[in-house]
Amino acid sequence: MADLTFFFFLLAAIAIGWLLGRRSVKKKKPDCSEQQQSLARSYAQGLNYLLNERHGDAIDKFIDSLEVSSATFDTHLALGNLLRKRGEHDQAIRVHQNLLARPSLARASQQKAQLELARDYIAAGWLDRAERLLQELVETSSDLRNTSLEHLVEVYRDEREWAKAIHAVNLLHGRRFKRLSSEWAPVQAHFCCELAEEAISGKDYLSARKHIDSALGYDRNSVRACLLWGRLEYQLGRPQEAIKVLQRIPKQNPDYIPEILDLLITSYEAVGDEAGLDTYLEALLREHPSNSVLIALTERIHQQRSEAEAAAFMGKQLALRPSLRGLGHFLDLHIDSTQGRARENLSLLKTLVDQLIASRPHYRCSNCGFSGNQLHWLCPSCKSWDTVRSVKGVEGE
């Protein structure tokens, strides 16, 4: 359907070019049969190229036959945009570059063409070229300034230029300390968290603390900022502080409880508060049931009491909330205590369950449906922040 739409659009564009060109020739010269024949040949060639799916040649004919003017500008612009949406980035660039090469166009029209060319470059992955065009528009076009800044944020995000991205968002909102909208505040928090992660990796803990504070200044409920804060406290030898920070996250967003468990358990163990850990895990399971918490608590019962008690606890929980992960762990608890054919059967069943779990994604984007086996703060597919979460239900949490 999209290909058919494109075919008719390009056919119409070439036809419009021929008609406008024919009218222009008539106005200029009474005796214009030769020029009319040339236009007719261009139209026929363009149609032939379309029928043979030679879109590049057809677009060349379109550019040749349709003079760029205020009357035809929107047609050129729309064709370039359609080509970009189809993924034909080189062709879109050619169309929009052709517009920019026309000094006779009004300044506002040239700037619109420049914006579309920048979008072409972004789609093609030529971010440095897009950046230059957008920076120029920010400085020269009051009408397109905000749109250009929004695209610059995208460019800096994809280039991982986090400080520049933060600056661009601040420019978008007028001044450094103006309160950001609910749309942009969480995004700024993520940019600060990216800088904090880089600082932690480089053991620059002072800068990391500064960036985490900035993130929480933008979004006080930033789960990612609290995760980094807890990680920083633990690395600095303050596990008790790490526990306090990590315990904020279930209140902020319980979907991220699985992400805190490893560090939370390690921190509790570092301070020697085994009873406190058990109490907290029990409360989490009661208030925010999840398979990750269930398995962690079952493992602690196994270590501290017995395999039988752990199996009984897991069996009771599975009756309330069946899940593949829980079943896999339940089978593990029984395999070691069985012998002979029963053990073989349980092992076979465990293998099948493990294969089912391995074939299912652990995370999914609520916006576009992207799925994978690791947490992404920024969805690799639709480029949305905070939309990738643990899968829920029998196959997930």
What pLDDT band is residue 173 in, cutting at 50, 70 and 90? confident
pLDDT at 10: 52
Domain final position from 160, 186, 211? 160
pLDDT at 16: 52
Res 204 pLDDT > 90? yes
* Model pLDDT for residues 305-364, shown as the tens digit of each residue: 999 999 999 999 999 999 999 999 999 999 988 888 888 999 999 999 999 999 999 999
What pLDDT band is residue 386 in, cutting at 50, 70 and 90? very high
Domain final position from 96, 125, 160? 160
What pLDDT band is residue 31 in, cutting at 50, 70 and 90? very low
Residue 44, in any domain of the structure? yes
- Maximum mean pLDDT: which of 2-11, 20-29, 93-102, 227-236: 227-236
Res 121 pLDDT > 90? yes
d(CA 81, CA 103) in angstroms, rounded, equals 21
Res 66 pLDDT > 70? no
* 62 and 78 housed in the same domain: yes
Helix segments in the chain, DSSP class H: 2-28, 33-51, 55-65, 73-85, 89-100, 107-124, 127-140, 145-159, 162-172, 185-201, 205-218, 223-235, 239-246, 249-252, 257-271, 274-287, 291-304, 307-320, 324-335, 340-359
Res 48 pLDDT > 80? no
Res 26 pLDDT > 80? no
Q: Is 368 annotated as a binding residue?
A: yes
d(CA 193, CA 243) in angstroms, rounded, equals 19
- Single-letter residue type at 393: G
Query: What is the mean predicted confidence (pLDDT) over 373-389?
Result: 97
Q: What's the gap between Cα 284 and its chain centre?
A: 30
* 50 and 72 housed in the same domain: yes
Residue 129, in any domain of the structure? yes
In which domain, by residue range, is 382 found? 361-397
Helix axes 107-124 and 89-100, enclosed angle (nearest 10): 160
Query: What is the mean predicted confidence (pLDDT) over 34-39?
Result: 46
58 CB-near residues (< 8 Å, 6+ apart):
10, 14, 46, 49, 50
Q: CA 381 → CA 2, 128, 369, 372, 392, distances in Å?
A: 21, 21, 9, 11, 20
Average pLDDT across the chain, whole number? 87
Res 52 pLDDT > 90? no
* 335 and 365 housed in the same domain: no
Res 29 pLDDT > 90? no
* 346 and 366 housed in the same domain: no
98 CB-near residues (< 8 Å, 6+ apart):
63, 68, 76
Q: Is 226 annotated as a binding residue?
A: no
Residue 132, in any domain of the structure? yes
* Model pLDDT for residues 243-261, shown as the tens digit of each residue: 999 999 999 999 999 999 9
Backbone angles phi, psi at 290, to 5 degrees: -155, 155
CA-nearest of 309, 284, 285 to 299 is 309
What pLDDT band is residue 13 in, cutting at 50, 70 and 90? low
Number of domains in the chain: 3
* 328 and 379 housed in the same domain: no
* 156 and 304 housed in the same domain: no
Q: What is the CATH number of the domain that holds 45?
A: 1.25.40.10
* 370 and 332 housed in the same domain: no
Q: Tell which wins on pLDDT, 280 or 18.
A: 280
What pLDDT band is residue 174 in, cutting at 50, 70 and 90? confident
* 6 and 97 housed in the same domain: yes
Query: What is the mean predicted confidence (pLDDT) over 136-159?
Result: 97
What pLDDT band is residue 27 in, cutting at 50, 70 and 90? very low
CA-nearest of 324, 329, 298 to 393 is 324
pLDDT at 74: 87
* 351 and 368 housed in the same domain: no
* 304 and 388 housed in the same domain: no
* CB of 292 closer than 8 Å to CB of 397: yes
Res 1 pLDDT > 60? no
d(CA 89, CA 125) in angstroms, rounded, equals 10
Q: For residue 66, what is the DSSP state?
A: S
Q: pTM to 2 decimals?
A: 0.83
Residue 127, in any domain of the structure? yes
pLDDT at 42: 47
Res 288 pLDDT > 60? yes
Residue 315, in any domain of the structure? yes
Domain final position from 112, 127, 160? 160
For 79-83, which contacts have Cβ atoms below 8 Å and span 24 or more sequence positions? 79/9, 79/10, 79/13, 80/116, 80/120, 81/116, 82/6, 82/9, 83/59
Res 388 pLDDT > 80? yes
Residue 335, in any domain of the structure? yes
Residue 265, in any domain of the structure? no
Res 141 pLDDT > 60? yes
Res 62 pLDDT > 70? no
d(CA 69, CA 67) in angstroms, rounded, equals 6
DSSP element (H, E) containing 365: strand 363-365
Q: Is 382 annotated as a binding residue?
A: yes
Q: CA 152 → CA 120, 155, 175, 182, 296, distances in Å?
A: 13, 5, 17, 19, 44
* 373 and 308 housed in the same domain: no
Residue 290, in any domain of the structure? no
* 309 and 352 housed in the same domain: yes
